[in-house]
Amino acid sequence: MVAFRNTEASGRTTGLLLRCVLYSLLALGLIIFDKRYDHVGQIRRFLSVVAYPVQVAVASPFEGWDWFRESVSSRETLRADKAKLEAELRLANFRLQRYEALEAESQRLRALRDNTADVANRFVVGDIMDLDIDAFRERVLVDKGARDGVFVGQAVLDAGGVFGQVARVEELTSEVILVSDAAHAIPVQVNRNGLRTIAVGTGDMSRLKLPYLSTSADVIAGDLLVTSGLGGGFPAGYPVGTVAEVKRDPAQSLAEVEVRPAAALDRSREVMFVWLKPDAAPAPAPPAAAAPPPPHQGAPKK
């Protein structure tokens, strides 16, 4: 039974309306300024530093439990893990054998076409913080921020392929929007024939879709999709996913294509931030406080 005590001396509400209007106007002002101008960036950055301890405090017990479970895992588990990793490494090495030669050949061909490729040149690994940011959007918080030179729009990869891109940068953390977020789209190319299109998120971590392919487009289940590098945000040639199913309804002009993402969107715990081209890479950020956000894609700010 819930009972509130009538401890209040007088039901004084004078000023309630006034204060309500005041705070609401303040909030509305914040919304407008945040949306239209970048004036509140400093406020937001300051607030996020204040919120950081809360985020760490919530995430650390879960990370601690994982750590504990790992450290008491049995010898058999470790041996099985080791065997699995060795097998993976053998396979990766096998695939790598021809990589150098192919890379050189590719550079040579591109030089012939006077076309410089976007080459990923610096990686920084970040840990995904164990937090649910928003139940309705596919986003994760990563423990690298402006201090490490992360910038908005930066490509983020995991071991399997393209993971997403940076949506927001704070001082110590950054928010990454997954490729599967309903608001995310990424330019891709069918690896088999070079067909270019756009992969759009569905809001479901296990699915992407290609909504802009006609029913006659040459795409079949099992096709590998890689980033096309168009648009400049992502380096070219990284796997985005494989086509799982193609539905062609003759009555429709567009095919329904479903894609399984290559990155382990729901299982990854570490992701890589990628810097393209050498001149776009900001100097390895010194831990100096209040460093300005690094220039985006080499375009000098100001």
Specify the residue, 47 or 80, whose C-beta has the smaller distance to another protein.
Answer: 47
In the complex, the smallest distance separating the C-beta of residue 39 from another protein, rounded to whole angstroms, is 10
Site for another protein in 80-109 (CB under 8 A): none
Encoding tokens for residue 284? 């390895």
- 127 to 166: interface string for another protein, x by CB under 8 A: ---xxxxxxxx-x-x-------------------------
Contact 254, 216 (CB under 8 A): no
Q: DSSP class of residue 292?
A: P
Does 37 participate in binding another protein (rule CB under 8 A)?
no
Three-state secondary structure call for residue 52? helix
Q: How far is CA 297 from CA 160, 170, 189, 255, 270, in A?
A: 24, 18, 22, 35, 24
Contact 206, 258 (CB under 8 A): no
Q: How far apart are the first and last CA of the chain?
A: 61
In the complex, the smallest distance separating the C-beta of residue 244 from another protein, rounded to whole angstroms, is 20
Which residues 6+ apart lie within 8 Å of 211 measured at CB?
198, 200, 254, 256, 257
Q: H helices then E strands: how many in the chain?
A: 4, 12
Which of 122, 168, 192, 209 is the binder for another protein (CB under 8 A)? 168
Does 8 participate in binding another protein (rule CB under 8 A)?
yes
Does 43 participate in binding another protein (rule CB under 8 A)?
yes
Does 14 participate in binding another protein (rule CB under 8 A)?
no
Does 28 participate in binding another protein (rule CB under 8 A)?
yes
The span from the CA of 185 to the CA of 207, in Å, is 13
Which of 42, 51, 89, 107 is the binder for another protein (CB under 8 A)? 51
Specify the residue, 64 or 194, whose C-beta has the smaller distance to another protein.
Answer: 64
Q: Which stretch binds another protein (CB under 8 A): 5-13, 119-127, 238-246, 267-275?
A: 5-13
Specify the residue, 1 or 251, whose C-beta has the smaller distance to another protein.
Answer: 1
Counting residues that bind another protein (by CB under 8 A) gives 54
